[in-house]
Chains A and B, each alone.
Chain A
Amino acid sequence: MSETKEIIISTDKIHTDQYLVNMGPQHPSTHGVLRLLVRLEGEIVHHIQPHVGYIHSGIEKMCEALSYPQIIHLTDRMDYLSAHMNNEAVCLCVENALQVEVPERVKYIRTIMDELTRLQSHQLWWCVMGMDLGALTTFFYGLRDREHILDIFEETCGARMTLNYSLPGGVMFDIHPNFQKRVKDFIKEFRKKLPEYDQLLTGNVIFQERTNDIGYLSLEDAIAWGVTGPSGRASGFSCDVRKHQPYSAYPLVDFQEKLDTKGDSFTRYRLRMRRCKNHFASLNN
């Protein structure tokens, strides 16, 4: 008996040292290249020091010597998953400076392309998030559906990812005659699939365990650190540019900004899922 007691007392006194782990820049879960210096104690992360710049390519310096239509082709290499929005940002900027008004049709086309781009970006996010947790099925499902959107892009402008579709003053070509039909078909199809995907990953115990209450971010922190997008909105930070400073055809689209307040990873996940549904509302218009 006495022995057992001793052991219990001694386990209390065990303490582990903190240690430094280098993660990246080549690491499967840093999707892109990010190097983190992590100070750990067991499974608890005490401090993270990020090192960035492994794909710094000096685009700003290049832009000094280029004309505006040429810059467009560099912008979609900045965030390659939302290439069209980057193009559009430059276009809007040039159009604002020149005080050019683009036709209504262009605005609509850009808005629809924006939403499609967002949707494919979310699909990729969803599938790799599952993959990082070991759920390889999501990877195949997500990328399978993403191909449908890429097909639409390819038919419209000839490229799958780096679109270069917007130009200052308009878009490069008109949409393909099939465009409307294909988008509508895709929405119908994907709307059916989404609940299934939702069930597949969301209800999973492992997934819940690893996201619920992990990585808490308060509203104050989110604002102070400028965390925008779905991550910010999961903390209750209303920061949707489409609502607050609407561009293109967004003033005419009826949609809601989804907010949540819990602020952990799981909420961020739910929110992004809901955003997917939201996009359909915008696309239907």
Chain B
Amino acid sequence: MGVKSKKEFEANDFPILAEYEGGSIILAKLDDLLNWSRSNSLWPLTFGTRCCAIEFMAVGASRHDMARFGMEVARATPRQADMIIISGTINYKMAPVLKRLYDQIADPKYVIAMGSCAISGGPFFYNSYAVVRGADHVIPVDVYVPGCPPRPEALLFGMMQLQKKIRRERYFSRKQKKNAPQP
């Protein structure tokens, strides 16, 4: 188990995690088990506000079929979900609702920002008085999927990136940095 140097990471991976790497084999294996189960049953919350939501539905349906990645169980309540796919525009009226939904999801929780609206305000970036310029002003985002709307394949790729990120996580075998603040 383990990463020997930062060079092993590809461009899209998360070199910062390497610094926290360490721990014994048993704990690392335990982590792997945890990550494996978490990453293969990510249940998204049905949170669609705009056009991207229709593409999200298309991803769930027959041709693209996100059930292949264990994500088909879209939940209507945040308490049963593991992640939010923010598909659509977030405006100032919706932002508190989004924050509240995010707070209700049990840890660990992940966020995918789908479409340029959720990334930066997208087509409503200039001169719109009502749109939040990016959902990351409201809640932290893990993966950004650009496009207006992104193709279903792009969303699937984004989901796989998220899975990849989850597999890199360390819970048991995490080593504190020397000068990191103690909790």
Find out whether A and B make contact in their complex, taking CB atoms under 8 A apart as touching: yes
Residue of A53, A61, A124, A140 touching B54 (CB-CB under 8 A): A124
Q: Quick check: is A160 within 8 A (CB to CB) of the other chain?
A: yes
1/0 per position for B76-97, CB-CB distance to A under 8 A? 1000000000001101011001
Question: Given A55-B89, A160-B55, A161-B149, are A61 and B50 neighbors across the interface (CB < 8 Å)?
Answer: no
Residue of A57, A59, A74, A140 touching B62 (CB-CB under 8 A): A140
Question: Given A74-B123, A144-B62, are A160 and B46 neighbors across the interface (CB < 8 Å)?
Answer: no
Residue of A57, A64, A80, A143 touching B124 (CB-CB under 8 A): A57
The answer to whether B54 and A28 touch across the interface, beta carbons within 8 angstroms, is no
- Nearest Cβ on chain A to B129's Cβ, whole angstroms: 5
Interface centre among A32, A65, A144 (most CB of B within 10 A): A32
The answer to whether B91 and A57 touch across the interface, beta carbons within 8 angstroms, is yes
Q: Quick check: is A186 within 8 A (CB to CB) of the other chain?
A: no
Residues of B within 8 A of A191 (CB): none
The answer to whether B47 and A26 touch across the interface, beta carbons within 8 angstroms, is yes
Number of interface residues of A (CB under 8 A): 35
Residues of B within 8 A of A124 (CB): 54, 57
Number of interface residues of B (CB under 8 A): 34
The answer to whether B58 and A143 touch across the interface, beta carbons within 8 angstroms, is yes
Residues of A within 8 A of B48 (CB): 31-32
Question: Given A74-B123, A144-B61, are A58 and B129 neighbors across the interface (CB < 8 Å)?
Answer: yes
Q: Quick check: is B128 within 8 A (CB to CB) of the other chain?
A: yes
Residues of B within 8 A of A64 (CB): 127
Question: Given A62-B127, A65-B127, are A56 and B93 neighbors across the interface (CB < 8 Å)?
Answer: yes
Q: Which residue of A lies closest to B128 (CB)?
A: A58
Q: Quick check: is B49 within 8 A (CB to CB) of the other chain?
A: yes
- Nearest Cβ on chain A to B133's Cβ, whole angstroms: 12
Measured CA separation A27–B76 after assembly (Å):
7
Q: Which residue of A lies closest to B78 (CB)?
A: A26
Measured CA separation A182–B131 after assembly (Å):
39
1/0 per position for A87-109, CB-CB distance to B under 8 A? 00000000000000000000000
The answer to whether B91 and A56 touch across the interface, beta carbons within 8 angstroms, is yes
Residues of B within 8 A of A174 (CB): none
- Nearest Cβ on chain B to A253's Cβ, whole angstroms: 27
The answer to whether B97 and A140 touch across the interface, beta carbons within 8 angstroms, is no
1/0 per position for A26-65, CB-CB distance to B under 8 A? 1110011100000000000000000001111111011011
Q: Quick check: is B148 within 8 A (CB to CB) of the other chain?
A: yes
Measured CA separation A150–B53 after assembly (Å):
16
The answer to whether B49 and A54 touch across the interface, beta carbons within 8 angstroms, is yes
Measured CA separation A124–B56 after assembly (Å):
13
Q: Quick check: is B101 within 8 A (CB to CB) of the other chain?
A: yes
Measured CA separation A128–B57 after assembly (Å):
10
Q: Assuming A32-B49, A143-B63, A162-B148, what are 9 further A-B pairs, CB within 8 angstroms?
A: A26-B45, A31-B53, A55-B88, A56-B93, A58-B130, A61-B128, A140-B62, A143-B57, A143-B61
The 3 residue pairs across chains A and B that have the minimum distance between CB atoms: A143-B61, A80-B51, A28-B76
